[in-house]
Structure 1
Amino acid sequence: MRQQWRLLLLALGFFTRLPLPAIPDFQESDLKEAARYLPLVGWLVGFVAALVIGLLSDSVPLEVAIILSMAVTAYMTGGFHEDGLADSADGLGGGWKKEQVLTIMKDSRLGSYGALALILALLLKFESLLHIPLPLLPLVLFAGHATSRLAAVLVMATQEYVRDEGKAKPMASKLSKTSLLLATVFGLLPMLFLPLQMWAAMLPVVIVWLWFSRILKKRLGGYTGDCLGAMQQLTEIAFYLGVLIWS
Structure 2
Amino acid sequence: MSADDSAPPVSSGFFTEIQLAFSFLTILPVIDQRPASEETVAASFAWFPIVGFLIGLALAGEDWILAHFFAQVIRSVLIIISLTIVTGGVHLDGLADTADALGAGRERERALDILRDSRVGTFGASAIFFDLTLKILALSTLAGHRRYAALIVAPMIARWAMLLVARGLPYLRASGSGSTLLSGKVSGVRTAAVAIFTIVVMLMLGAMGPVALATAVALAIVFAMRSFYRRWLGGVTGDLIGACGELVEIAVLLAM
TM-score normalised by length of structure 1: 0.92
Corresponding residue for residue 227 of structure 1: 240
**For residue 165 of structure 2, what is the aligned residue in structure 1?**
155
Select the structure of larger CA radius of gyration.
2
Q: Is residue 2:225 matched to residue 1:175? A: no
How many Å separate the matches in 2 of 1:218 and 1:185?
A: 31
The whole-number CA distance in structure 2 between the counterparts of 1:143 and 1:189 is: 11
Structure 2 matches for 1:9-48, cutoff 5 A? 9-48=19-58
| 1:52-86 superposed Cα distances (whole Å, 9 cap, x missing partner) | 21111221121111111111121111111111111
Instruction: Tell me, yes or no, if the aligned pair for 2:16 and 2:32 is still in contact at 8 Å.
Output: no
Q: Give the drift of 1:12.
A: 1.0
The whole-number CA distance in structure 2 between the counterparts of 1:197 and 1:103 is: 42
Paired residues of 1:37 and 1:182 also in contact (CA < 8 A):
no
What is aligned with 1:98?
A: 108
Residue of structure 2 equivalent to 1:239: 252
Cα distance in 1 between the residues matched to 2:17 and 2:173? 24
Q: Aligned partner of 2:49: which letter?
A: P
1:51 matches 2:61: yes
SS in 2 for 1:168: helix
Residue type matched to 2:219 in 1? V
CA distance in 2, matches of 1:123, 1:188: 29
Match of 2:209 in 1: 197
User: In the alignment, is residue 214 of structure 1 matched against residue 227 of structure 2?
Assistant: yes
> Do the aligned partners of 2:13 and 2:40 also contact (CA within 8 Å) in 1?
no
Deviation readout 1:93-124 (Å, 9 max, x if unpaired): 21422211110011111111111111111111
Question: How far, CA to CA, are the matches of 1:204 and 1:143 in structure 2?
Answer: 13
Structure-2 separation of matches of 1:43 and 1:220: 31
Q: Which runs of 5+ in 2 are unaligned?
A: 1-11
* 1:48 aligned counterpart, secondary structure: helix
Aligned residues: 242
Q: Is the 8 A contact 1:52 1:65 kept in 2?
A: no
- Please give the root-mean-square deviation of Cα atoms over the aligned residues, in Å: 1.6
CA–CA distance in structure 1, aligned partners of residues 96 and 54 of structure 2: 24
**1:181 deviation in Å?**
1.5
Contact kept? 2:60, 2:151, Cα under 8 Å: yes
C-alpha displacement of 1:203: 2.3
Amino acid at match of 1:195: A
| CA–CA separation in structure 2 for the residues paired with 1:35 and 1:125 | 25
- Which secondary structure does the structure 2 equivalent of 1:73 belong to? helix
